[in-house]
Amino acid sequence: MALKRRNTEIKEGILHILTGSKAALSQTDVEEQLNVPADRATIFRTLNRFVEDGIAHRIVSEEGKSYFAVCTGKCASGHHHDAHYHFHCLECRKMECMKDEIQVKLPKGYKLMQANVVLTGICAACR
């Protein structure tokens, strides 16, 4: 079972940033946008806690960096429906969450637990 959570300024600040952002944000992004001073480790732990608690989901870019975005409705703790895909723009570096989910037809016997789908290219705004 999960630990109890407390409300703190930092947590709410981070959540507010995530909620207000259309794109998924890296830890560094969050760090820069946060107006409350906070340690790297704190942000790291907070983001991970959000993922654990089903508040946000993590996307790993093709560069190996983690990005975070608030979950849209369907996510529950430990059971994410984040099979929607993401678009990472090489120009503006934004990691956008796309609405559509990918359709996967896994062979027999395979148990799917998570999906990490990142498309890379140039977004509409940058062309």
What does the block give as tokens for 115?
A: 């999906």
Residue type for position 6: R
Helix (H) or strand (E) holding 43: helix 40-52
Q: Does 108 bind its own copies (CB under 8 A)?
A: yes
9 CA to centre of own chain: 20
Of the pair 45, 74, the CB lying nearest DNA is at: 45
Instruction: Give min distance, CB of 121 to DNA, in A.
Output: 19
Interaction between residue 28 and DNA (CB under 7 A): yes
Nearer to DNA, 40 or 74 (CB): 40
Is there binding between residue 1 and DNA (CB under 7 A)? no
User: Which one, 62 or 91, has the nearer CB to DNA?
Assistant: 62
| Burial of residue 77, with CB atoms counted within 10 A of its CB: 0-12 exposed, 13-18 middle, 19 or more buried | exposed
Q: Which region among 5-13, 21-29, 30-38, 119-127 touches its own copies (by CB under 8 A)?
A: 119-127
DSSP state of 109: T
List beta partners, residue 69: 57
The answer to whether the beta carbons of residues 55 and 71 sit under 8 Å apart is yes
Q: Which of 33, 34, 61, 70 binds its own copies (CB under 8 A)?
A: 61
CB 47 within 8 A of CB 27: yes
- From its own copies, DNA, none, interface partner of 120 (C-beta below 5 to 8 A by class): its own copies
Which residues of this chain interact with DNA, rule CB under 7 A? 3-11, 26-28, 37-42, 44-46, 48-49, 64-66
